[in-house]
Structures are given as structure tokens and as C-alpha cells.
Amino acid sequence: MKKILIFEYITGGGLIDNKLNYNLVNEANIILSSLIHGSDFIVHFFCDYRNELKNNNNAIIVSPNNKDIIYDSTFINKYDYFLPVCPETNLILFNYLKKIRQKKISNICMSDNKAVFITSDKIKLKDVCNQHKILNPDSYSNTKNIKFILKDRYGCGSNNVMLINDAIAKESTKLIQENYIPGKSYSVSLYIKDFGYKIISLNQQHISRINKRLKLDTIDVNIHPFFSNKIYKFIDEILNAIPGLRGFIGFDFIFYNNKIFLIEINPRFTTSMALVEKSKNNHILNYIDTNLNEQTGRICKIKI
């Protein structure tokens, strides 16, 4: 049986020497729990010494005394596969992958560095979309009701996302302003290999608004929308524009006026993937090493 090593950044030692008050802790725990049980692999995982799963038999404890183990090529290369799950925030994922690849860690189930950099920087991603004529917030305008989305240029998920009524005078190096598209929010989860990809699930995101701030509340995983056939062309356009995407990937998009507008690309394992086993009876990690038969499954809801 093959072995896989999981490094979920928040629960796995990425915050050693820092307090565990990170605003993505809940999602991180959901992701880790979905990965460590029930697959066709022997699964070991890096685990912060303060995490509740530290007593699990397959936990590899990370503490201030051995915090560099998450970069240890000799140790990591003992596994058949290595799956880092890091946020794009402030280029955390990009910088981690760049560092471990310099150490000749060769078993990584992830996109190449260039693809991760483009997808972690929302301005770079927007430029690529415009160059390849992929619909995105720049493609939408509505002079009757002008609203904008303001969010972190190197942000992750729905953290620090605001809906504003007036354009800011000047974008800072850390913020990005986008046209607000009044459609419904969705995502598509994929596993991409060198020779093709498998759609894992289509998902609908339910977002609430408190004053100006937007928050992701729940996700309906494995839905079957009426526009499903449009998804394949959408995916092909993105993979043509960013050919270095590999592994678990999530595309966030808005469907409006019978068109798909790309909002973000998550070049990593995403929260919605944590419910795939429940919805399809296929463990999510099995997408790495097997050609799973497509199953319809059922819709499952996850609360963030």
C-alpha cells in the first residue's frame, strides 16, 4: 500500500511560534479530518503539538524543537506522495512550495511554481484572463447600479472581502478592486493529472453580507446545475491559459446572464472537497492514484 504525507499548514506546524488564533482554523480542521481516514493510502500527517489530533497514531508532531521537519527532504521523500495544503494568503503556499522544491522534494501533488504564483496573485490572474479572453470581473459592467468588490490581492477564500458602492481612488499594493457581478456563486473541484482531469464536484456557495463585509456561510457540495455542460469549455480555457495547474484545484466563479465569470483559482485542496466522501462514497485521496468511475452521488452541505 502506498504512503502519503499530508501537510495542512494551519494544523500541521505552519504556525509554530505563533498563536493558534488564525481565522481559518475551523476550515483547516475540517480539511485535515477529511484526509486522514479511510483512503486507499497509508496516511501520515504533520500535526501541530497544540492540535487536538496530536495523539493520533499517524500524527507526526511538530513543535518548536523540530519545526524544520516540514522542510526535511530526506524525511518527506520517503513517501510516495506529499500533499501540502497551504493558504495563498501573503504567498504562503507559493513560498513554501518554492522552498521545498529547492530541496529536491520530488513527490509533490501540486501545481508548478509559476501556476501557483499566478493564481495566488489576483492581479496576475486577472491579467492572464484578459490576455486569453476568459470572462472575469473585468468583463462585466453595469452603469445603472455600480458596485465593487474590495479584497486582498494575496488573500484566501472569503476573508476580508467587502462590497462597496464607490470605487476607491487608488488600489494599494495589497488590495484589489473588482466589478461586482450580481449572479450566484459556485465552484468546481478538480483533480488534474498530466494526461487530463477529473471533475470531483460542482458546488454552490452561499454568502451573507454584514454591513459591507461578505462571508461564506455554507457550501452545497456535488450539485447538478442546469449549466453543467458549459463547465467543460470553461475548464479547458483555464487549463490552456495556465498549463502548469496540477493536483487538487478549485475554480470559484459567478454564473450570471448565462455566462461563467472566473473569480478565483485555488491551487490546492479546498474545503468543499472535504465532503466528497460523504456525497460520493469515494475518498478524496483516491483521486490521486486511481481512475475512479464517475458517480452521481448526493448533495451535501458544509457549514463554514
Average pLDDT (8-32) is 87
Question: Where are the extended beta strands (E) located within 211-236?
Answer: 213-221
Q: What is the pLDDT of residue 187?
A: 97
Q: What is the pLDDT of residue 170?
A: 60
The tally of CA atoms less than 13 A away on the side-chain side of residue 49 is 9
Higher pLDDT residue, 209 or 249? 249
Q: What is the pLDDT of residue 22?
A: 65
- Whether 43 has a pLDDT exceeding 60, the answer reads yes
Amino acid at 39: S
Contact 10, 28 (CB under 8 A): yes
Q: pLDDT tens, 168-193?
A: 756 667 889 999 999 999 999 999 99
| pLDDT grade for 289, boundaries at 50, 70 and 90 | confident
Domain boundaries, the chain: 3-109, 119-303
The span from the CA of 38 to the CA of 285, in Å, is: 9
Contact 168, 149 (CB under 8 A): no
Give percent of the chain above pLDDT 70: 96
Q: What is the pLDDT of residue 69?
A: 97
User: What's the chain's Rg over C-alpha atoms?
Assistant: 19
What's the mean pLDDT when you consider all of the chain?
91
> CATH topology for 3-109?
Rossmann fold (3.40.50)
Q: pLDDT tens, 220-256?
A: 999 999 999 999 999 999 999 999 999 999 999 999 9
Q: What is the pLDDT of residue 25?
A: 83
CATH code that applies to domain 119-303: 3.30.470.20
Report for 23-27, 98-102, 104-108, 193-197: range of highest mean pLDDT: 98-102
In this structure, of 18-27, 215-224, 239-248, 295-304, the range with the lowest mean pLDDT score is: 18-27
Sign of CA dihedral 70, 74, 112, 236: negative
Q: What is the pLDDT of residue 148?
A: 92
* pTM, entire model: 0.93
